[in-house]
Amino acid sequence: MRKLNTEELKRVGIEEFKQQEKLPVVLILDNVRSMHNIGSIFRTSDGFSIEKILLCGITAQPPHREIEKTALGATNSIEWNYYENTCNAIKDLKVSGYEIIAIEQAENSIMLNDYTPNLTAKYALIFGNEINGVSDEAMKLIDLCLEIPQFGTKHSFNIVVSAGIVLWDFFAKLKL
């Protein structure tokens, strides 16, 4: 077996990417501390062609060397905006018709594998701070909460791993 080279992958350019149909998903990063995590989420979001990322609170914004180290240019392809307050981002998305979903371990959460997204809906997925998770203020504004099933000794996945799992699940259920 031979690995494909870059030309054989036939990836689109940034301008073509910006014009193509997007997965109807916006990510909200609620006070994410690590710039490497932020950059990796940009890169993962590019891979699944989501609509945009909202960076909230202490979440760092491009351009920044530490974000670019893992984003590898995805900050140029993925649309993003900054909100000082996560709740304002949520309220704006609600007005625009997005279903607001926290990715968190909470009472009455739905396991990701048991959830089926509506093919005609738009979604905003909130990923929280690496230590404290989604803020209590944001949790008061969500429509539902999804939880990723886990079977080991640790109580959570890294935020980038969580974003990858959830985005793949939404992509598979909505596009494949």
Distance CA 152, CA 67 (A): 30
The verdict on residue 6 lying in a domain is: no
The single-letter DSSP state of residue 13 is P
Residue type, 65: R
Residue 91: per-residue pLDDT:
98
Q: What is the layout of strands, in order, in the sheet containing 23-30?
A: 79-83, 50-56, 23-30, 122-128, 98-103, 144-147, 110-111
The verdict on residue 11 lying in a domain is: no
Using a 10 angstrom Cβ sphere, with 0-12 exposed, 13-18 middle and 19 or more buried, the burial of residue 8 is exposed
Looking at every residue in the chain, the average pLDDT score rounds to 97
The total of structural domains in the chain comes to 1
The verdict on residue 8 lying in a domain is: no
Residue 34: per-residue pLDDT:
98
Residue 162: per-residue pLDDT:
98
**Per-residue pLDDT tens for 119-171?**
999 999 999 999 999 999 999 999 999 999 999 999 999 999 999 999 999 99
Domain, as residue range, for 166: 22-175
Instruction: Give the predicted TM-score (pTM) of the model.
Output: 0.97
Which whole-number Å values give the CA distances from 17 to 7, 47, 124, 152, in the listed order? 16, 10, 20, 38
Q: Indicate which CATH number applies to the domain containing 99.
A: 3.40.1280.10
The single-letter DSSP state of residue 106 is -
**Per-residue pLDDT tens for 42-91?**
999 999 999 999 999 999 999 999 999 999 999 999 999 999 999 999 99
Residue type, 78: I
**Which tokens hold the place of 152?**
């080991």
